[in-house]
Structures are given as C-alpha cells and as structure tokens.
Amino acid sequence: MTKALANDPLGGDAIHARGLSKTFGALKAVDAIDLRVPRAQVYGFLGPNGSGKSTTIRMLCGLLTPSAGEIEVLGLRIPEQAEALRRRIGYMTQKFSLYEDLSVRENLEFLATVQGLPRARRKARVDELIESYRFGDRQRQLAGTMSGGQKQRLALACATVHEPELLFLDEPTSAVDPESRRDFWETLFDLADAGTTLLVSTHYMDEAERCHRVAILDNGRLVADGTPETLMRALDGRTVGVRSDTPRRAQAALQHAPGVLSVAQIGSELRVLMRAGGDGASALRATLQAAGVAADAVAIAPNLEDVFVSATHRVDAETNATRERAA
C-alpha cells in the first residue's frame, strides 16, 4: 500500500484500495476494484442498485471484511486498524437512522457524547451545528416530525458532529425533493472547501456530474474513473441528436442499427450513443433515409449518462466474450 500516505497527513490520497473484492457465497458483490480518492474532494460513486456501492463503502469503513485486496484509509490499514479509523470518519446511511423520539438538539448532544467530545466542547459544537444547519427555530422539535429534507440535514449534522476528516454518504438524497438535494450538495462543497474528504454514492446522474471525480460501478466492477469532464470528453463525436416529426418511428429504425449502443427519447428528440469510430451523424442519417424516416442528425455534447451506458456496455460485451470463449 501507499506508505507515503501515512507519512503525509496533509496531502496524498485519503483512500487507496487495491484488488478489493467481496463475495457472499457464489455472489461476487465487488470484483477486484482499484480505487484512489484524493483528499478534500467530493468523490462520487455512481451505479444502479446492486452495483456494489454500499458493499464497497462498508469495506472502506471497516464495517465489512474484504474477501481479497488491500485498503488504506487516512494512512491506516483496514480492517486491521478500523477501530482507530472510526473517530476520524463520519458515515451517513441511505435510511434516516437517528432517534425520532429525540429532539434535534438531543440527537446532536447524544452523538457528540458517543463520539467522545469533551464536555466543555460539546455544547459549543452543538450550538455551531444548529446555527450552520439552520435549526435555530427547530432545535426542540422531535426528529420524527420533520420533513425528509430536514431529516437529511440533521443526519448530516450528526455525521459531522466530531468534525471527521473523511465522510461517507451512502445515497443520502434518495428520498428528498430537488430543492433539498441542491441545498444538501452546497453543504457538501462547503465541507470539502474546509478540508473534509467526501465519498458519496448516488444513482442520480446530475449529482455525479457535480463531483470533483466520479467512479462508475456496474455488477461489482469499476468500469470508469475520472473527472466528469474527462470522462465525457472521451465520448466526443459519439453522441448524436436526432430530430424528427415521427420520433417513435425514428427510434424503431435506429434501435438495432449497426454501430448504435443506445437510443433514448428526450422530449420530441432522440439521443443516440454510437460505438467508437466513424461519422455517427452521417451513418444515422443514411439509416433513417433508408427506412423512409424524415429526420436530421447532428453531433451533440456527451453527458455522464452517455459515459455510463458506454462503460457498462463495454463490460457486458467483455463478459459475453469471455463466456463464449469458455464455452
């Protein structure tokens, strides 16, 4: 593992994992992942349910023992030094897990006690969080009576009560409205600016695009890793917009055309992702003309959903090829 990380507490990677795997019987939930998470950044885990995001996070936290591989988090070997790590990290789960019959302040005070904050520091820290998370007029309100967005803010405040160096968030915005999600992400960037490293799992493309870096997981494998801009730029020329007065006919004509990976209707237009190589727009125009569909096709800027489709399709193709060779 990276020995420099332990000797350089102010720089380097917050997380370094190599060959990380986890099996449950015959199921390989995580398959030989190599991972580096830079310090003081928001690092996104993007993938559908069942892709291995939560299992990976639990291994990185020391809550789950890997079947294979090596992990170093904040210079500590995991799971061997998991106990030493726990005071330096925060963990916010997908499901609201605080005490609904306690007030906002009581939840914060309880977590501050559990995290071992000295009595003299405890009240001041709770007061800071109540002010910064805008709970001044709700600090006596029972947590169970709050809205989804308010519960989410409280859970984040509790996860940071001990000022952790590293914060794990497992699909934290899955049950809140768009405005609350936007406010939540602004808070995450405030934490990153203050020096906290954040690893956030999500299945929302718009959230993943906001991250400094993003890893895409599919069927337990890491299929893409980099900044959103770099990952999207790699698909330049492969995403094509198609306009037609009969978009459903156009979609049917293109669905199984040579070189086409996916076709999605967005409003009255189609978004088509092509395989690498060639002039995708020209090829689509020729296919539509041959099918008797009046339409125009032009290259458009790729987005992270295109990256996801391309990366997961490549892995599916490799898996199928391996199975065919084995047969």
Burial class from Cβ neighbours inside 10 Å (0-12, 13-18, 19+) for residue 61 reads: buried
The Cα 171–Cα 53 span in angstroms is 9
Same-domain status, 55 and 138: yes
Q: What pLDDT does residue 278 have?
A: 67
Same-domain status, 67 and 194: yes
Structurally, how many domains does the chain consist of? 2
Same-domain status, 288 and 179: no
Task: Find how far residue 231's CA is from the centre of its chain.
Answer: 15
The Cα 165–Cα 143 span in angstroms is 26
Same-domain status, 86 and 177: yes
Q: What pLDDT does residue 315 have?
A: 47
Same-domain status, 183 and 245: no
Considering the entire predicted model, what is its pTM? 0.87
Same-domain status, 32 and 151: yes
Here the CATH number for the domain that contains residue 300 is 3.30.70.100
Q: What is the pLDDT of residues 118-148, one digit of tens each?
A: 998 999 999 999 999 999 999 999 999 999 8
> Helices (DSSP H) in 200-264: which residue ranges?
205-210, 228-233, 247-254
Q: What is the pLDDT of residues 186-205, one digit of tens each?
A: 999 999 999 999 999 998 89
Same-domain status, 205 and 258: no
Here the CATH number for the domain that contains residue 169 is 3.40.50.300
- Among 227, 256, 286, the domain boundary falls at 227
- Among 176, 209, 227, the domain boundary falls at 227
Same-domain status, 244 and 216: no
Helix %, strand %, coil % for the chain, to 5? 40, 30, 35
Instruction: With beta carbons less than 8 A apart as the criterion, state whether 176 and 96 touch.
Output: no
Residue with tokens 């490549």: 314
Q: What pLDDT does residue 10 have?
A: 40
Same-domain status, 47 and 193: yes
Domain ranges, residue 321: 232-326
What are the structure tokens assigned to 148, written together? 């989804």
Positions in the chain short of pLDDT 50: 1-10, 315-327
Same-domain status, 171 and 44: yes
Residue 155 parent element (H or E): helix 148-159
Same-domain status, 213 and 106: yes
Q: What pLDDT does residue 223 have?
A: 95
- Among 174, 199, 227, the domain boundary falls at 227
Same-domain status, 61 and 203: yes
- CA-angle at 188, arms to 186 and 190, nearest 5°: 75
